[in-house]
Structures are given as structure tokens and as C-alpha cells.
């Protein structure tokens, strides 16, 4: 097992099926807050559903086409980051995140997604990380901006939402851009 410090009392580590009870507790605390922004299939409502979500990502990890990691703060699972997809052949993946309200405003997601991007682009050698978000999700868009991503465009009325169809913004960062951005932030 590995643990990556995210500062303060927070850490990033693998989120596995045996964490289902903790994961469900986190989802219960975050459900109302994240439901407008994440896939309904992610927001499990019972222990079996939580296990299924984590198994799905464990299977994706085993197939090398996705993965999930939790963010723990003070020993409590408060959110996480994931690779929604990963295609090593094309060098493209999609990253995502979730966080319960009590953990917001501390930069945990930005630091965790930054670590994930480092791993994907630097260690794995992929070329592009995508960040897809509901155009109304200002917090998610702010994370993309803080990480030096560029807005590629908008897929108009792409998904059904709670108040009708929603636009989906696509943001991305390419490996050379990431390396340059990281070098620039390190020298500040």
C-alpha cells in the first residue's frame, strides 16, 4: 500500500472494495452536495452498492483502464480522485473527483488531482488528461484552472440533469504543458 501526503493531516491512498463501509459513510455525508455533479451510478445508497462501485474501479485498475483513490483527513475518508477512463494506447485519460462539504476550501482536491496528473503524465507517460464537468460546476472548473488546464470547449446539452439538459465543459492538459506548468509553479 502507498500513502501520499497532501499536507496538514491529509493523505491520498488507494480506495479498495474493503473500504466500502467508509466509502458509504463519505457518500452519505457528501450525497446532496455531489449528486448534481457526478454520475448517479457513483453515488451508492447502500453497502452493497458502495462495494459495487469500488469493485468496478478495482476491476478497471486490474485492466489498466481506470482507478480510484481516497482522500483521508484526520483519519476520515472525505473524498477522492479517480481515473474515469485510461487508454494507454492513445495516451488519453479522464480524471475526476468528489469531496464532502466539510473538507472543502483546503486545496485537498487540487493537490490530489495534481498528484494523479503527475503520475499519469510523468510516470505512466500518457499524453493528455481530460477533465469533464457540468458547465455550472464552478468548483470543478476552478480546480481545472488551478492545475493549468485549458478549456477545450463545451458539449452543449450533453447530459440530462436535474433541471433539464446540461452543457459539459471539457478541459485538458497535455504532457508538455504539464511539465512546463509544474516547472513554472516550482520556481515561484
Provide the CATH number for the domain around residue 40: 3.40.630.30
79 with 96: CB under 8 angstroms? Answer: no
> In the structure, what pLDDT confidence band is assigned to residue 42 with cuts at 50, 70 and 90?
confident
pTM greater than the 0.95 cutoff: no
Average pLDDT of the segment spanning 50-68: 96
Across all residues in the chain, what is the average pLDDT?
A: 93
The whole-angstrom distance between residue 55's C-alpha and the CA centroid of its chain comes to 17
How many domains are there within the chain? Answer: 1
pLDDT of residue 186: 62
Of 96, 98, 102, 84, nearest to 147 by C-alpha is 96
Q: Is the pLDDT of residue 76 over 80?
A: yes
Residues in a beta bridge with 165: 160
Q: Is the pLDDT of residue 43 over 60?
A: yes
pLDDT of residue 41: 82
> In the structure, what pLDDT confidence band is assigned to residue 1 with cuts at 50, 70 and 90?
low
Q: Is the pLDDT of residue 188 over 60?
A: no
Q: Read off the pLDDT of residues 129-186 as tens digits, 9 standing for 90 and up.
A: 999 999 999 999 999 999 999 999 999 998 887 778 989 999 999 999 999 988 887 6
Contacts of 11 (CB under 8 A, 6+ apart): 3, 4, 5, 71, 72
Full residue range of the structural domain in which residue 50 is found: 4-186
Q: Is 50 exposed, middle or buried (0-12, 13-18, 19+ CB in 10 A)?
A: buried
Amino acid at each position: 500500500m502507498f500513502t501520499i501526503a497532501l499536507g496538514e493531516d491529509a493523505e491520498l491512498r488507494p480506495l479498495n472494495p474493503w473500504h466500502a463501509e467508509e466509502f458509504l459513510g463519505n457518500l452519505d455525508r457528501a450525497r446532496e452536495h455531489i449528486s448534481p455533479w457526478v454520475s448517479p451510478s457513483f453515488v451508492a445508497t447502500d453497502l452493497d452498492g458502495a462495494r459495487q462501485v469500488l469493485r468496478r474501479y478495482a476491476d478497471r485498475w486490474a485492466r489498466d483502464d481506470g482507478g480510484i483513490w481516497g482522500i483521508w483527513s484526520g483519519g476520515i475518508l472525505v473524498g477522492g480522485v479517480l481515473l474515469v477512463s485510461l487508454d494507454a494506447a492513445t495516451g488519453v485519460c479522464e480524471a475526476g473527483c468528489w469531496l464532502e462539504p466539510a473538507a472543502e476550501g483546503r486545496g485537498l482536491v487540487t493537490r490530489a488531482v495534481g498528484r494523479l496528473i503527475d503520475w499519469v503524465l510523468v510516470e505512466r507517460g500518457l499524453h493528455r488528461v481530460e477533465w469533464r464537468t457540468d458547465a455550472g460546476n464552478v468548483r470543478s472548473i476552478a480546480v481545472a484552472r488551478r492545475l493549468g488546464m485549458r478549456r477545450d470547449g463545451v458539449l452543449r446539452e450533453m447530459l440530462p440533469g436535474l433541471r433539464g439538459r446540461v452543457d459539459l465543459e471539457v478541459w485538458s492538459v497535455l504532457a508538455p504543458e504539464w511539465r512546463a506548468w509544474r516547472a513554472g509553479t516550482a520556481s515561484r
